[in-house]
Structure 1
Amino acid sequence: MNINLDNAKDTLCKNITIYGYCKFENKGCAFSHRRPTLPPSQSQPQITPLVQQLNITSSFEIPSSAGSTHSSHSSDSKRKYDFNTPSFQPSNLNNSNSSTKFASPKVEQIPVFVPDGGGSSSGYKFNASTPSFTPAPASQASGASPAATAPIPTGMPSTQPVVPPPQSSTPNPYLNDPYYQHPAAAAAATKYPLQYHLYAPQPPPRLTLPLTPHESNPHLLFLPNDLRETLHRKNEASLQTMIHSSLPVSVNQYHSLVPIDRNYQDGNSILYKVFSSFDGNVYAMRKIDGIESDSINFTKFKKWKSLNCANVVNVVDSFSSLSFGGSCLIVVFDYFPNSMTLYEQYKKVGGIVTEEMLWNYMLQLVNAVASLHEKGLTGNGTINLNKIIITNSDRIRLSNGSISDLLGDEPGSRAEDIVSVGRVLSELSQGMRNRISEELSMTIQELTNTGDQFDLAGFQGKISKQLFSNFDKLQNSNDFLEAQLTSELENARLFRLMTKINYILSNNLPNEQVKTIKLFHNFIFNCFDEMGKRIIDLSKVIINLNKLDCGIDEKVLLVSNDDNECIIASFKEIRDIIDSQFRIIRE
């Protein structure tokens, strides 16, 4: 160890810092052995000799500490410890200056920790005996809170009473919730939403690896994420049920009523989602209160029921009912889950309106009006933003048809239907960010300012250019959906094949053919690479199952995990073995 003798004399020896003394102090240690002294402004704590408390006397001496005030060996340069060394005692808290607001760096002014129950306290503080929060039912809302009436658990210190939490002006959201009023029934019927995020999303385009024409990735083998999630949400809305409902169990052949109205402009009309016990399909049921059975006019209902138009919601059934406690009119329509009206989409939500979308809506509304006029019917108040629903992307339909005719209202004219179409398009155009073209503006004005002599067939010929453009868009959309359906076509075939394999493996038949199936199963799902890591390859599973289902003559080497068994067989032979073993199980 290289030591600088010039600097060592100013450096305190480590032995003094650690042990309080250095046994090489007078034997050549080059470091300084000056003991550190406290500042004169810092007072010494009052100490009491330990020997006076224990009455111990001894001549045995041990080295003295650096902070000791004992001076019995002042003439000796080596200070030593003995049993006369006084013990350290902290100063009393009552003697310290408690008038200061903040903690002081001085030793005698450091506050001492006092456990709970050892003194008085002000304000709220944590208490181990405070019970946990439990929402109170509605019947106990006006009484004492659970925190104030709950008993204190035994074994806990109870020197300080439990302080109830301060009352809040915010109402308790759990008071009127049936889940907490009937926890047993609610727990049995708990509805868990679909976890859409559990599906692996497709990476962003900037992270997507370029693929050659003969390559593919798992995302190309299944439905796109946006289309899959849209279909899942529609399916979830169709299967939705309502617990603790006060609604009727059934209305004629329709049951499982769930209200689906988003607005309540008509106070006596409510829309429900129902299931039919006749065919098991889902329908939308409109209930109109205060309608007597003898005042319902079914004259034109057969025409509405026979109407078949892609832009008009089909009417299924209509009747009067007393199931809701009073006489009411019931009209049943086809159900389109998660549909929204034009008013909700573009006025409340603030959807973006484009000129191409206006042309598309114009074509569909004109088609709906032309279909109604061919049957001798009119829209009669159904052509407005609150009655036109969006069922799919850029797909609209007239809803609530036939209700005005059933109620016996005065029939509207055909000119009023054309004017209503122009008004709907004019209201939607007000939400456009850019100005519409002159052609579209003149077309909307022609619809709005029409008269009784309006030629609908001639107007359809004027907008035929936009019709062909919309027709091309629909054809492309049809090709896309057909391509996605084709990608899912093989799922049922492979599922049936995997079902057969699992049935055979679960029976544990002791023969050589079942052993071949087990080795093939391990070849697909239980393979490891040269590093001992399990191989998880979706494309390998799909390719080999397709080869197995087709029964090609390609041979494959099947090896067990312990390398004790090895079989070479073709996919055709393995498929024949699976079919024969499955027939044995069925017999």
Structure 2
Amino acid sequence: MSFFSRPSSSAVKIVAPSSSHSEPSSPKFARKDSTQRQCRNIMIYGSCKFQDKGCIYYHPPLDSSSPVPPDSPTPSAALPAQAVNAPVFVPKNPASPVPAPAVPSSHIGPIFALSTGSSEYHYDESGAYDSQAQQSDMSANPEGVANLAEHFQALDPSMNMNPYDQVGDMHLMDYDGAMDPFYSTEGAFAHQPLDYHLYTHSRPEALQQRYFISDNVREELQRRSEATYAAPPPGLNLPEETQGYHSLMPLESTIGERRKFGNWYSTVYKALNSQDGIAYVLRRIENYRLNSQAAFSSIESWSRLKHPNVISVKEAFTTRAFNDNSLVVVYEYHPTAETVFDAHIKTKAPQFQNGRLQAQTSRIAERTLWSYIVQIAGAIKTVHDAGLAVRVVDPTKILVTGNNRVRVSSCGIVDVLMFEARQDIAMLQQEDLVMFGRLILSLCCNNLGAVNNLQKSLENVGRNYPQEIRNIIVYLMQKPSPLKTIRQVFDMMKPQMLQEFDESLNAVDQLESDLMSELENGRIVRLLCKFGFIDERPEFARDPRWSETGDRYIVKLFRDYVFHQVDQNGQPVVNISHVLTCLNKLDAGVDERIMLVSRDEQSCLVVSYREIKLCMESAFSELSGR
């Protein structure tokens, strides 16, 4: 402690040098001006007992009031005269020496207000300081040390400081030997570039999808888009165009077992319309000769019918483009759709489970079955109210177009094929109800031939499904009667209709939430388009440096700030979150300021997003001539 002084009133005990004390390791050098230097014993103790025994330092006369040697500077008034040349206290510690902490002068008094009791300071006869003796003295009188520790503890409660053992504290404080050990250094944080792969890593289920649509919806929409624009394979020998439809592609197998409409073979194609560019489904009836143009009157009635569970009819025509007389009916196209037969009834190939090849169980779930019943019943009711009959309530003609979403397809074809039969519409509607009952029975039993053994099939339905479903099947398969209508079926499943209505509303809410997450994408795309028009433009108005000057230069620097940042290792920062944040702030024109640095790092600009937006709008307006 090199700058505190012993109070003048305290008793001082001078200890004679002892032979047991080891000699200091440092060599002694006699100074040339030693006769002009005042003896430190005079400065500290007021007298020197070696004055008459050969002490080589200056000893002022006893009557002198100012014990200052000749040619010696006057001590500073900030500290006592006795503290000017006091020895430096260095704790005896095997660790490397640590520089003394810098303490404000305002804290010197209270920090070093040590006990005024007697204490011993050991010097040898040459004035050398004995650090071992001083360390033992401080250990014998720990009151001052405790006060010092309490003071620094008050400055920083998290510090557990031992002034005589700083090795452990420096380790805890991440001390590197170059900073003040009384103040902890902040740990260095190495910035790592964020890894945003939005469509690769799965997100936790608890994380709300706030910025992008869910992965299931996105993947399903991408599959539908891929199926819509899929190109037909070569070698199919299909016509290049027929009645304004081109790029024909078969949607079902044209070899092996083929399905029929009555006595006619049928094939389904996907084709693009030359007028609107939309994909449609062409159902072709092979080798059919139309005898009367009036047969297309039912197609006009079907084209006016709109229902969410009925695939709309667009038009019908006959053609010889397939090298025969073919009837073609055009429907709306629902990509990736499959029939109810393929989804639930068709026998699926066995799969390996637990090391064994096991057959797949395909029994339809109760909730899914109720959903199908409600939707198909709604479609039948709408068709019957329009004075028509479905006539194709068959597992191979009802499509599953989404999650528990079914639609009745191939409507109107039977009306054209059987136009000359002229059957009563009421009887046809009764046949629809019977076909509906057979469909439900086939779904419950996973077998198209379940109707052949009706009693056993109904017992199977009663074991696996609730009694309400069995009652509906029995009602639908009764003999035709004027009192037998589809409205009675709705009365038998009112609770399930309410549940289906609730689930449909939940589905709408989910789709609206997904739409909200994608709503602002158009604004971001417009900003990116403006960037492409302005940045790096070769020439405008005969000025090859147009994109490098004026407002365009700020836009260029902002593009580098958004897309061309690098980390401390010089690697590109591919951070989609940073890009989206900057572009949204730019579109909003916020007042937040950022610093844009030129590529040569010789100049920088501090601008706000609002100013950058004005620069971009000005440059784009100049390009568009507005």
Q: Above 0.5 in TM-score?
A: yes
- Aligned partner of 1:287 in structure 2 is 284
The one-letter code sitting in structure 1 at the alignment partner of 2:302 is: W
Any conservation in 1 of the 2:380–2:486 contact (CA below 8 Å)? no
- Aligned partner of 1:506 in structure 2 is 536
- In the TM superposition, 1:148-159 aligns within 5 A as none
Larger radius of gyration: 2
Q: Distance in 1 between matches of 2:590 and 2:288?
A: 69
1:19-61 deviations in Å (ceiling 9; x for gaps): xxxxxxxxxxxxxxxxxxxxxxxxxxxxxxxxxxxxxxxxxxx
Q: Distance in 2 between matches of 1:343 and 1:238?
A: 23
The one-letter code sitting in structure 1 at the alignment partner of 2:272 is: F
- Aligned partner of 2:177 in structure 1 is none
1:248-306 deviations in Å (ceiling 9; x for gaps): 12111212211112462226221111111222211111111222232562242222121
The one-letter code sitting in structure 1 at the alignment partner of 2:493 is: I
Any conservation in 2 of the 1:274–1:285 contact (CA below 8 Å)? yes
- Aligned partner of 1:359 in structure 2 is 370
Shift of the 528–328 alpha-carbon distance from structure 1 to 2, 3 Å rule, reads closer
1:400-444 deviations in Å (ceiling 9; x for gaps): 111111012544522221111111111111249971112222222
Shift of the 299–545 alpha-carbon distance from structure 1 to 2, 3 Å rule, reads closer
Shift of the 327–530 alpha-carbon distance from structure 1 to 2, 3 Å rule, reads closer
Give 1:395 deviation, angstroms: 1.0
Q: Distance in 1 between matches of 2:523 and 2:203?
A: 32
Of stretches 306-315 and 221-230 in structure 1, the one that deviates more from structure 2 is: 221-230
Matched, 1:545 2:555: no
Matched, 1:392 2:417: no
Match of 1:369 among 358, 375, 380: 380
1:179-221 deviations in Å (ceiling 9; x for gaps): xxxxxxxxxxxxxxxxxxx97433374xx8x87xxxx8xx752
1:112-155 deviations in Å (ceiling 9; x for gaps): xxxxxxxxxxxxxxxxxxxxxxxxxxxxxxxxxxxxxxxxxxxx
Give 1:449 deviation, angstroms: 2.6
Match of 2:250 among 256, 259, 271: 259
The one-letter code sitting in structure 2 at the alignment partner of 1:366 is: A
Matched, 1:338 2:336: yes
When normalised by structure 2's length, the TM-score is 0.57
Shift of the 515–352 alpha-carbon distance from structure 1 to 2, 3 Å rule, reads farther
Match of 1:234 among 219, 224, 229: 224
- In the TM superposition, 1:13-412 aligns within 5 A as 200-203=199-202, 205=204, 220-242=210-232, 243-262=234-253, 264-266=258-260, 268-295=265-292, 297-348=295-346, 349=348, 351-380=362-391, 382-408=392-418, 410=421, 411=423, 412=427
Shift of the 533–322 alpha-carbon distance from structure 1 to 2, 3 Å rule, reads closer
Q: Percent identity?
A: 29
When normalised by structure 1's length, the TM-score is 0.61
Give 1:492 deviation, angstroms: 1.6
Matched, 1:439 2:430: no
Q: Distance in 1 between matches of 2:623 and 2:485?
A: 71
Q: Distance in 1 between matches of 2:198 and 2:328?
A: 41
SS of the residue 1:248 aligns to = coil
Kindly report the root-mean-square deviation, in angstroms, between the aligned alpha carbons of the 2 structures: 2.4
SS of the residue 1:413 aligns to = helix
Q: Distance in 2 between matches of 1:372 and 1:560?
A: 69
SS of the residue 2:213 aligns to = coil
- Aligned partner of 2:504 in structure 1 is 474
Any conservation in 1 of the 2:270–2:279 contact (CA below 8 Å)? yes
Shift of the 579–204 alpha-carbon distance from structure 1 to 2, 3 Å rule, reads closer
Shift of the 352–223 alpha-carbon distance from structure 1 to 2, 3 Å rule, reads farther
Match of 1:497 among 527, 549, 574: 527
Q: Distance in 2 between matches of 1:390 and 1:498?
A: 39
Q: Distance in 2 between matches of 1:467 and 1:499?
A: 48
Which protein, 1 or 2, shows the higher relative CO under an 8 Å CA cutoff with sep ≥ 6?
2
Give 1:386 deviation, angstroms: 0.9
Q: Distance in 2 between matches of 1:346 and 1:248?
A: 34
Which ranges of structure 1 fall in alignment gaps of 5 or more residues?
A: 1-197
Q: Distance in 2 between matches of 1:299 and 1:526?
A: 64
Q: Distance in 2 between matches of 1:473 and 1:578?
A: 47
- Aligned partner of 2:431 in structure 1 is 416
Match of 2:491 among 461, 464, 468: 461
SS of the residue 1:563 aligns to = coil
Any conservation in 2 of the 1:418–1:450 contact (CA below 8 Å)? no
Shift of the 352–200 alpha-carbon distance from structure 1 to 2, 3 Å rule, reads farther
Any conservation in 1 of the 2:315–2:331 contact (CA below 8 Å)? yes
- Aligned partner of 1:98 in structure 2 is none
Any conservation in 2 of the 1:201–1:225 contact (CA below 8 Å)? no
Give 1:241 deviation, angstroms: 2.2
Aligned length: 380
Any conservation in 2 of the 1:295–1:407 contact (CA below 8 Å)? no
SS of the residue 2:322 aligns to = coil
SS of the residue 2:578 aligns to = helix
- In the TM superposition, 1:575-586 aligns within 5 A as 575-586=613-624
Any conservation in 2 of the 1:339–1:389 contact (CA below 8 Å)? yes
Q: Distance in 2 between matches of 1:474 and 1:384?
A: 24
Q: Distance in 2 between matches of 1:223 and 1:489?
A: 11
Q: Distance in 2 between matches of 1:529 and 1:320?
A: 67
Q: Distance in 1 between matches of 2:396 and 2:324?
A: 27
Give 1:448 deviation, angstroms: 2.4
Give 1:559 deviation, angstroms: 2.5
SS of the residue 2:536 aligns to = helix
SS of the residue 1:338 aligns to = coil
- Aligned partner of 1:57 in structure 2 is none
Shift of the 260–549 alpha-carbon distance from structure 1 to 2, 3 Å rule, reads same
Matched, 1:487 2:517: yes
Give 1:571 deviation, angstroms: 0.8
Match of 1:427 among 437, 442, 453: 442
Q: Distance in 1 between matches of 2:240 and 2:387?
A: 38
- Aligned partner of 1:567 in structure 2 is 605
Shift of the 204–482 alpha-carbon distance from structure 1 to 2, 3 Å rule, reads closer
Q: Distance in 2 between matches of 1:321 and 1:534?
A: 60
